[in-house]
Chains A and B, each alone.
Chain A
């Protein structure tokens, strides 16, 4: 197990944004973390990387057996970009506009591997070739604005993987891209993962992306995990009403939150996702849940189950 997170909580100035999150990823596997914006999915991943400078983080993050919560900042820095790497949603603003892509890829490699400028430069070209950028030697000397959106994300991937990390966290890596380019980027991540036995955390709001790349899925709502499952059973039979709602809002899925598909009508989940200072009591989804009962408004549902885990009071009551 390369990454084991247990009971992770993150809060900013007393406001808890992530509440008791647990998950793990093995080498060669992909965990998809799904949720709407504000569900705490990005915050959790940034916390794993130690990139939250103002947050207070509690719980445990074991990376290859080493505890990262409370570890010295310098230790985390040495792991970042070296053994764990991250790519982001908007590849243009995530690349520095004033440095060539070759410089930006070589920078982390030179730092972590203590190589010469020339070696790092060669490594950058090699990585550009690996992520499928044509004429990498010439392209390495160009600045990010000369690349298309998909090519920029390839550059980000090349940068993240230059030091051969064990874990890649991809935070909405395809959200800003065209659909056809999205597929290419996902295929690229899958290919490199297969070649290197990389553990991947794919953070997304798009269940289509999850279906395409994930082995396991964690559904987040309001800073908590509401359902965890291997990918196939989840799509076959989503158990939490929120997961059903998410699936029903995919065009052509033919489902809705009550679980009795009515011939492919598109259903949106009513209401808005809650924001951290105003998380509702009990089950945080209850104000939007079509099946909510009294107990949902007051008691927090526990995450129960073995292979599949669901946090819903209706579990067992209806099945």
Chain B
């Protein structure tokens, strides 16, 4: 188990390094010249060379990459600008002139709040509706649930978000326009700003969980051990929940780990639509401004969350399924 975990952590480090390298090369290959952006419109070639030198962009790409990776662990000084960047250093945002790491930390709260609330919503609603649809398979209720799930997956997020903003905020004024505050500072504003984004994301994801749960439950309920449970005289509710749903946890958890990991690094469209100061909004703005260190940082953070969630899920299998043993 410990050996397995260590091996997986090693693999995780390699994956992250590879993702880092790929993202780094993509930016290097882009025609965009960050030095030109930093230098401004009236930039003489000499001045441009100076800026490029100051930003460390005149170094060979391999040296730049090495400096970047080392910086994550040891911190570094950027080029000749004298800008100190403490470990974990993901570079400086060209847009804000602050360390990328600080920006990420600053924005993580909103994204994590959004992800956690939405996840709780869609998990409960999605699994519950999936179970009901499976148990009532073939009935009108089942068809209704499946149809609405299909509809929800087909509708783009921005449309759901726009409709919610229009009807709930603008038309009926049930909620004020979102003004996000950290949970610990102003819980009411926090919740008020997050309700609609939660619903938006949950609607999107719940559809998938309905279909997954339904399919998985239909399969499980046909298993001989379900017949055994009924032959024991267990009430149908016990048969469905204790014996049926218990077996469905594994596939749900697998998807859930990946979804939650990905969402922690920000839901770009939802955050942008609702003006939430999260990682998704940060990324959206950074892409618009060619703020490559920020995009690189968010990409790495997302990759970290996803690989970490995967590892956590794989380790949880051992707790959930007694047949799983790690070697």
Residues of A whose CB lies within 8 Å of any CB of B are: 49, 51, 77-82, 85-86, 88, 90, 93-100, 107-108, 111-112, 143, 145, 156, 159-160
Contact = CB atoms under 8 A, between A and B. Distances in A.
A111 B229 CA distance: 12
18 contacts: A51-B231, A77-B233, A77-B234, A77-B235, A80-B233, A81-B231, A82-B233, A86-B231, A88-B227, A94-B224, A94-B225, A94-B228, A96-B228, A96-B247, A97-B323, A108-B232, A108-B234, A143-B323
Contacts of B235: 77
A88 B233 contact: no
Contact of B229 (A85, A90, A96, A143): A96
B289 interface: no
A51 B320 CA distance: 29
7 tightest A-B contacts by CB? A81-B233, A81-B232, A80-B233, A108-B232, A143-B322, A93-B224, A94-B224
* Interface size, B (range): 10 to 19
B53 interface: no
B233 A78 contact: yes
B232 A107 contact: yes
B15 to A, nearest CB: 31
Contacts, number: 70
Query: What DSSP secondary structure best describes chain B's contact surface?
Result: helix
Interface of B: 223-225, 227-235, 243, 246-247, 320-323
Contacts of B228: 88, 94-96, 156, 159
Given A94-B224, A97-B225, A143-B322, A112 B233 contact: yes
A86 B323 CA distance: 26
A262 B235 CA distance: 56
B218 to A, nearest CB: 14
B306 to A, nearest CB: 27
A111 B231 contact: no
Nearest to B322: A143
Contact of A111 (B224, B232, B323): B232
Given A97-B323, A159-B232, 4 more contacts: A49-B231, A94-B228, A96-B228, A156-B228
Contacts of A81: 231-234
Contacts of B233: 77-82, 108, 111-112
A98 B235 CA distance: 19
B230 A95 contact: no
B101 to A, nearest CB: 42
A51 B235 CA distance: 13
Nearest to A89: B224
A277 to B, nearest CB: 20
